Structure 1
Amino acid sequence: MTVLRDYAASVTQPSLGQSAALFDEVASPDGTLRTAWKRLAAEAVDLTLPELNRVGGEITRLLGDEAVVYTPPGGEQRSWRLDPVPLVIAADEWAVLEKGLAQRAELLNAIQLDLYGPQELLSRGTLPPSIVFGHSGFLRVVARTRVDHQRQLVITGTDLGRTPTGEWQVLADRAQAPSGIGFAMENRRVLSRVLPVAYREAGLHRLAPFFQALRVSLTQAAPHGRDNPRVVVLSPGPTSETAYDQAFIATTLGFPLVEGSDLVTRDGAVWMRVLGRLERVDVILRRVDADWSDPLELRGESQLGVTGLTEAVRRGSVTVVNGLGSGVLENPALLPFMSAMCEQLLDEPLRLAGVPTVWAGTPEGRDQVIDRLDALDVRRIDPPFEVDLARDALVAAIVAEPYRFVGQERATVSVSPTLDRGILQPHALTLRAFTLRHGSSYRPMIGGLATAAPIGTAPDQVGVSKDVWVLKESPDEPDQGLLDQLPVSQARAPVTQVPRVLDDLFWLGRYAERVEDLLRLAIVTHELAEDFQGRPHSSGGQTLSVVAGTLRSLSPSAYDRADFEGDLRSLLLDARRPGSVAQTVARLKEIAQSVRDQVSPDLFRVFGAMDRARGALAANPHGWQIGESAGRMLTDVLALHGVTGNMVRDEGWHLMEIGRGIERSLQLCHVIGPTLSARRGLDVDRDLHHAVLQASESAITHRRRHRGVVRGASVLDLLLLDETNPRSLLFNLRAIDASLATLPGSSGSTRPERLVDDLLEELDRLDVADLLATEGDHRPNLARFAHATAQHLMRLSDAVGEVHFATGPVPRSLAFSTVGAGA
């Protein structure tokens, strides 16, 4: 017997306890597989438990390599989890659910249009006014506007659970900024890679056409008369709960991922800041809650929104998806009135019932909720919905403001076998379905995002996700039921980046180079320590002391100077150590997360490989593992350079290269200053020259040119003045100068360009013999040169930020507005 068949046979056994009465997504009541599962290939159905655990391990590795993360409300960021057993739904079963989802999205849109327009639901008494006006999601500032709101509810999310009889019921509606589409697509990508045969032969609907339809719908949501409209994805930032989901959508759809500071309102319209100018924004896919979206008219303390956005919405110059105020539709107090509202607005019976809910805003409802306090889940109508009060305090709160509370029957959902601690166990399952306004109607995504959690936990608790496989009725059925896409303008969209993103890419280049240079120096230090840490008075031991001291100057350490092994372990593993490899990699990851829509997913696989190398070092106490892990990490960071090397040569790439050039030049100064500015004897100086060449990846070049003879003059000439050596100061300054010239804000005379010119002139006058001149045992000219050049490079870095990353308002004419002219 295989693991799934074993599971199915066990559903009739008493060992399943409370789950036996629940609807099981895989097993029929007679202990056989459900029809949908019987249609799957043997590769899916006949998996053994060891094979299933292997697949689970591959899933974890792939998600880790792509840095797929999620931050639960009030919690810390954690890795995204995906179960190897999908939720499989037959075509005929989905067809029934699909109709209900389409109707519900249409109903929610109609409710929103009414509440912000004629308000007939209120005037006819179908919906109590206190449910609407007492809810924080109802925004009076956009009510009764004359703007056409027909398209403001473009995409909805519906959280569903099955009753014991197998019928789907609505647990909650998500209308403000429904998240999870990106996670659903990521789940599909991963599962199709670890179960390729099962996926290929299952005959299920692909998700890609839904994303294509979403792109069309967002583009067509632009205000009338806008050709080739600009769409942006507005994010709270890389630390938000669903930052990965937001970046995935932006990347897949090809829209800029922006934050509130990247946008500005002018003349009643929204504009995006780019280098030296503003560009008009027509559609905003909003992932910032409405009340944080405009500090001028909504929450004044918000730093996430766009000042003046509400006025731009009222004028109709920009479309916000979903519209400001759509949060009112997430009010659980609407659930008892959905059937009546559907009859009034759509003249249809409600197809998808909601979880039984009692609103406490009437005397009868209040008494019923209080009387059944132990049997109901009491929730607020506003976020946070969960109530954490003692019984007496809860009763007092309900009596004081009854309209703010609902009592809901405890939702009973289905179960699905889930890999938990190495075995399959039944977990409670919920499904988030997504519905898109496509053309003139609503189309549900044929699929979705399922979540499984241990039985007994709250339905909204974070569990493990599942891919949703909806089987086709026939092989020739079009994916997502979409034969053709609606037309979209074929005009080439301008590729522009906001200053915040350019700043991040600049520092991405700097941190990537810093990691590489630290690792090279650490490897040299470890090699010396392996040979000479027991011989401190030998020439190699003295060389080790100098090189290790240089490394400590870049990353201060509390370790004893003789504890080279502990110091190097700390450098690679301790993220709290200033300037360490671990801390720099952590910062590099943070920046990569914030520009996820700009970089290849391969970049995150590099991080995954680096994490595994660090994990191997943490698990291995032997000294040789230090060099092994450092070498693997160096290989990985070199792969990172290869990934970024495939980027389009736009402003972002050039700024990343500028950052890399500045950091490489800085690190060179930080190394040659302490190591070569003193005389320590012929043998020690020779060893230090070799160490510097190795740390600067120039040893082979020097050996070929000088036949193994190492002198200070030849080393400095190669590292400072050789225009063909990519590691030399001259090479990098010329590369920085060339990249600066490509930037829109450069004129040939800007401060960054002047500073580079000064450095190039200094190198043109430089005499290596003068640098090597000695006074006693010191070379003061070399020390002064290294220090002065490093300070000059720091000023250059600051100047690049001041000129190219400034986010202040674009200058305006005193006589008239120049925004419309593309200022």
Structure 2
Amino acid sequence: MSVLRDYAATMSQPTLPFAAAGDVSRFDEFVDADGALRPGWKALAAHALSLTSDDLHRVDGEIARFLADDGVSYVRGESGAQPWQLDPVPFVLDPAAWAPLEVGLAQRAELLNALLVDLYGPQSLLSEGIVPAAVVFGHSGFTRPLARASAVDPHPLLLSAADLGRDAGGDWHVLADRVQAPSGLGFAAENRRVISQVLPDLFQEGDLHRIDPYFSALRAALLSSVDEAIDDPRVVILTPGTLSETAFDQAFLANALGFPLVQGSDLVVRDGYVWMKPAGWPRTRPADRIDVIIRRVDAAWCDPLELRGDSRLGVAGLVEAVRRGNVRLVNGLGAGVLENPGLLPYLPAACERLLGEQLRIPSVPTLWCGEPEALREVQARLRAGDDTLLVRTIDEPRKAFADLDRGELTARIEAAPHRFVGQTQLPLSQTPVWNGAAGGTGVGARAAAMPLTLRGFTLRYGSAYRPLVGGLATVRESTDALPRTKDVWVLKAASDDADQNLSEIAPLPAARSIPPLSPRAHADMFWTGRYAERTEDLLRLLLTAQAELDQPGAYGPAGAVAASPRVLLDVLGRLAGMRSLDPEAEFRSLLLDASRPGSAAHSIARLRDAMEGVRDQLSGDTWRVFATIDRALRALRTSAHPHRTSESAGRMLAAMLSLYGVTANMIRDSGWHMIEAGRFLERGLQLCVLLSTGLAQRQDARATRSVLEGLLVASESVVTHRRRYRGSVRAADVLDLLLVDPSNPRSLAFALAALRDHLAAMPASTGSTRAERLLDHLETELAAADIGALGAVSDGRRDALVEFLGGVTAQLEQLSVAVTHLHFESGPPAVPMSELSLIELMESRA
């Protein structure tokens, strides 16, 4: 019997032991009370009911691989980035079931927009007593600096979201509104992409609405939300940074819309306008002016001048730019007040007053304790031990007090009743969720019933609000468990229905636009190149050393290591220090220990951080590199066999080499030039360490040949050397090939020439900057070098070579600092207002 047929049978026979997880008081999304399939699932029955536990176990593994390849994660507090969880069984709605939701979501978005306009403008709802003033002014989301008629935007809500759940009768209720910075669209689109690939037959059988047109409509709505006089509006997405819990969602949105992802430090307000802060600030260009900001930073953190003075996430002066109407925020800074659960009891009356309609989708039953009668009811239910009552604060609606002693909770409420609400927990509808990840394909592998919530999204497109036909469904076993999501399938009423009910997207000007990159983005790109090259070079060196140690005669009497592998181990020690005398233990540490500076693991971690900062600029294929590396590292951790070290290092090196292919397909903008500049600067530094350590001392003839060949392999130049030079390997020939040969991509001369070209392409370069002057001097010095003299041995050492390469290393490090000052830094670092005294502030303005 198939998994879903099993589930249907269980739900229709709740007394069976197998059905212990079923709850007859809940509405089931898969079968009705008689055990028949819901209409949406009936259309998919042919393939859905044929899915076995083996099928779903395979699909579950494929989902995990796809999500890892795309680098999809959810940052959860101190736990850090966690893998995104996606259930293989979608949540399916037929057209008739979706229709009332679509109407209700559109109405709710229109109501919230009208409510927001009223609260920051005429405040008629407050003056007429429809909404208590205390529930609004007592909420931290009410942004007082914007509460003036002249600053009111008639359409402050462009994109909103609502979390929904069904009661036991199958009626939808709004559990919470998400309007300040609604997240999840990117996750919803990623879920659809993955499920369509792992369940292609089921996906093709269901004639459902595609999500892609909704992103086109969102892009058009954003570009048309500014003054018509602006021909080429600049749109950015303001993010708190890579540690944001929804960092992937923000980057996905930036990629899908084609707008840059920026942080507060990338922007600056000048003359009442918002600008992308260029290198060399305060110089500005018209192209740097920002017209629309999609805000993913909570309002309180958006402006340290008028809101939170200790914020480092916002832009000083942003509130004033908004008041002047010089920048459009999506959504407006004051939108956070609408996430106040204390407003929920008053929305029906507000809907009738503002829209002249009855509220289509009711909110979850809520009591605002600022009302005496509601307070008495909450207190009575607490005394009675009512388990269906959930107490929350109006400022932190996601935080409940289920574990708090009822006496202490009652005391808190009585001390400040206007700050609390009591909500009745709904017996949320249940849906089949595959638990094969825990049970495998054995007896325990089945579809279990779990409660479901649905996040619906609504966009103001044209003159009306249009809900996304679909959404993001979430199931979880407990409040502490990591949520597991579902793709939401809404079937079409007719096969020729337009996707998302959007017959066509409003045309936009076809002018080419090249969004500027911030100095921070340039820095992340530069270090992407450096860490990528550093990782590749160390992995190649490690593999070469391992191969040398595997050769007969690698160990002499008393376990002494032969000359060639010993030299390579010395190079590794200079790059990352020496932790163990056992080469195998040392190699494992270099691959696994991310806390060890100079190790491959450390460089990979820093590389990932740098690339996360510019995720919007990179291809989705980029994250397959890290997925491959993670799998190789997992294999290494679970195996103690020596061969596993070289095997894992080889897979990691192959992944790093694939990064070349990804960056080779990037547009040749300033970001790409920074990646390549970082790559070639780091290549020069690594080469200097390799040669100065590997050739510092003279060996006997046999050892010299072995050492030179090892260095050529580690620098990926052994094939070139064999083709170009005849006879035995000589130090002079190796130095010629690796230092001054302009046609060898691995040589120092080639690296410096490439570095010159990439720096010259940067906007801030003039041909006479300090970075360019340093590079000219270095190239001149290298061209004048006497290779014969550098390779000469005196008293058993090549001191001239060591001294020369030490000088090159110092100059390359100075060059890196000069690049930082010229292309990355843009004024003094931000200092929180709370750290400045009034006198210091006045002195800084003088």
Q: Do both share a fold (TM > 0.5)?
A: yes
Match of 2:313? 304
Residues 80-119 of structure 1: CA distance to partner in whole angstroms, max 9, x if unpaired? 1100000000011101110000000000001000000000
Check conservation: 2:295, 2:330, Cα contact below 8 A: yes
Matched, 1:516 2:517: no
Specify whether residues 567 and 538 from structure 1 end up closer, same or farther in structure 2 by C-alpha distance, changes over 3 A only.
Answer: closer
Q: Which residues of structure 2 form unaligned runs of 5+?
A: 440-444, 830-846
Aligned equivalents of 1:720 and 1:371: distance in 2?
83
Structure 2 partner of 1:535: 556
- 2:228 is the alignment partner of 1:205: no
Other-structure match for 2:237: 233
Which residue number corresponds to residue 70 of structure 1?
A: 74
| Alignment of structure 1 residues 612-651 onto 2, 5 Å | 612-651=631-670
Question: Is residue 404 from structure 1 mapped to residue 404 from structure 2 by the alignment?
Answer: no
Alignment of 1:796-807 (within 5 A): 796-807=815-826
CA deviations 1:426-472 (Å, max 9, x no partner) are 11110000000011110000000000111xx34x9641010000000
State whether residues 446 and 470 of structure 1, in contact with CA within 8 Å, keep that contact through their aligned partners in structure 2.
yes
**Post-superposition CA distance 1:48-68 (Å, at most 9, x none):** 011101000000011011110
Q: Distance in 1 between matches of 2:396 and 2:481?
A: 15
Structure 1 unmatched runs, 5+: 811-823
Q: How does 1:376-387 map to 2 (within 5 A)?
A: 376-383=389-396, 385-387=398-400
User: Residues of 1 paired with 2:665 and 2:289: CA distance?
Assistant: 29
Matching residue within 164, 169, 180 for 1:160: 164
SS in 1 for 2:276: strand
Query: What one-letter code is carried by the residue in structure 2 that aligns with 1:451?
Result: T
Rounded Cα–Cα distance in structure 2 between residues aligned with 1:392 and 1:148? 44
Deviations 1:318-376 (A, max 9, x none): 11000001000000011111111111010101100111111110221111111112321
CA 1:204/1:418 → structure 2, altered by over 3 Å: closer, same or farther? Answer: same
Q: Is contact 2:735–2:791 with CA below 8 Å preserved after alignment?
A: no
Give the SS at the match of 2:550: helix
Q: Deviations over 1:611-630 (max 9, x none)?
A: 11122222222111211111
2:574 aligns with one of 553, 558, 582: 553
Partners of 1:539 and 1:707 in 2: how far apart? 32
Q: Which has the higher mean CA deviation after the structures are superposed, 549-558 or 761-770?
A: 549-558
Query: Distance between the aligned counterparts of 1:669 and 1:799, measured in 2?
Result: 20
Matches for 1:397-796 after TM superposition, within 5 Å: 397-420=412-435, 421-422=438-439, 423=445, 424-454=447-477, 457-458=478-479, 462-531=482-551, 532-535=553-556, 541-559=562-580, 561=581, 563-707=582-726, 709-796=728-815
Residue 384 (structure 1) shift: 5.7
Deviations 1:653-682 (A, max 9, x none): 111111000001100001100110211211
Task: Tell me the TM-score normalised to structure 2 length.
Answer: 0.93
CA distance in structure 2 between the aligned counterparts of 1:731 and 1:74, rounded to whole angstroms: 45
Instruction: Say whether residues 1:55 and 2:59 are aligned partners.
Output: yes
Deviations 1:498-553 (A, max 9, x none): 11001000000000001110011000110112224532689971222221121111
Which amino acid in structure 2 is aligned with residue 747 of structure 1?
A: T
C-alpha contact 2:593 2:601 (8 A) present in aligned 1: yes
Counterparts of 1:599 and 1:61 in 2: how far apart (Å)?
20
User: For the Cα contact (< 8 Å) 1:37–1:45, is it kept in 2?
Assistant: no
Question: What letter matches 1:157 in structure 2?
Answer: A
Q: Contact 1:65/1:607 (CA < 8 Å) preserved in 2?
A: yes
Whether 1:321 and 2:344 are equivalent positions in the alignment is: no
Mean Cα deviation higher: 3-12 or 14-23: 14-23
Counterparts of 1:708 and 1:740, CA distance in 2: 39
CA 1:674–1:452: 2 relative to 1, 3 Å: same
Aligned to 1:353: 362
- Secondary structure of the residue aligned to 1:640 is helix
**2:625 and 2:358 mapped to 1: Cα distance?**
53
Q: How far, CA to CA, are the matches of 1:582 and 1:82 in structure 2? A: 28
Give the corresponding residue for 2:131. 127
8 Å CA contact retained: 2:340, 2:397: no
Residues 160 and 171 of structure 1 are in contact (CA less than 8 Å); yes or no, is this contact kept in structure 2?
Answer: yes
Are the aligned partners of 1:161 and 1:171 in contact in 2 as well (CA < 8 Å)? yes
Cα distance in 1 for residues equivalent to 2:136 and 2:721: 76
Q: Tell me: CA distance 1:281–1:511, structure 2 relative to 1, closer, same or farther (3 Å).
A: same
Do the aligned partners of 2:120 and 2:152 also contact (CA within 8 Å) in 1? Answer: no
Aligned to 1:26: 30
Displacement of 1:487? 2.7
1:105 aligned partner: 109
Q: How far, CA to CA, are the matches of 2:94 and 2:259 in structure 1?
A: 34
Distance 1:68 1:660, change over 3 A: same
Contact preservation (8 Å) 1:529, 1:544: yes
In the TM superposition, residue 33 of structure 1 has moved relative to its aligned partner by 2.1
User: Does the residue aligned with 1:19 lie in a helix, a strand or coil?
Assistant: coil
Q: Aligned partner of 1:516: which letter?
A: E
Other-structure match for 2:409 = 394
More displaced 10-residue stretch of structure 1: 144-153 or 408-417? 144-153
Partner Cα distance (1:225, 1:648) in 2? 30
Does the 8 Å CA contact 1:126/1:337 hold for their aligned counterparts? yes
> Shift in Å at residue 425 of structure 1?
0.9
Aligned to 1:182: 186
More displaced 10-residue stretch of structure 1: 185-194 or 419-428: 419-428
Change (3 A) 1:593 1:753: same
RMSD: 1.6
> Whole-Å Cα distance in 1 between the matches of residues 521 and 549 of structure 2?
41
Write the distance in 1 (CA, Å) between the matches of 2:171 and 2:633: 49
Q: Counterpart amino acid of 1:548? A: L
Per the alignment, in what secondary structure is the counterpart of residue 428 of structure 1? strand
1:485–1:351: structure 2 CA closer, same or farther, 3 Å change rule?
same
TM-score, structure 1 length as denominator? Answer: 0.96
**Aligned to 2:458, what secondary structure does the other structure show?**
strand
1:9, 1:774 → 2: CA distance? 85
Pick closer, same or farther for the CA change 1:536–1:599 going to 2, 3 Å. Answer: farther
How far the C-alpha of 1:74 sits from its partner, in A, is 5.3
Aligned AA for 2:332? Answer: G
Task: Tell me, yes or no, if the aligned pair for 2:122 and 2:149 is still in contact at 8 Å.
Answer: no
Q: Give the match for residue 13 of structure 1.
A: 14
Is the contact between residue 159 and residue 431 of structure 1 (CA under 8 Å) also seen in structure 2? yes
Alpha-carbon distance in structure 2 between the residues aligned to 1:538 and 1:768: 36
SS at match of 1:20: coil
The match for 1:254 is 258
Is the 8 Å Cα contact of residues 146 and 152 (structure 2) preserved in structure 1? no
C-alpha separation in 1, matches of 2:631 and 2:729: 37
Match of 1:372 in 2: 381
Q: CA deviation at 1:31?
A: 2.3
Equivalent residue letter for 1:542: A
How far off is 1:148 after superposition?
Answer: 5.0
Question: CA 1:741 to 1:59, structure 2 compared with 1: closer, same or farther past 3 Å?
Answer: same
For these two proteins, the number of residue pairs brought into alignment is 805
How big is each residue's C-alpha offset from its partner over 1:135-171, in whole Å with a ceiling of 9 and x where there is no partner?
0000110011414512210011100001111111110
How far apart are 1:586 and its partner, in Å? 1.1
SS at match of 2:453: strand
Q: Secondary structure at the match of 2:233?
A: coil
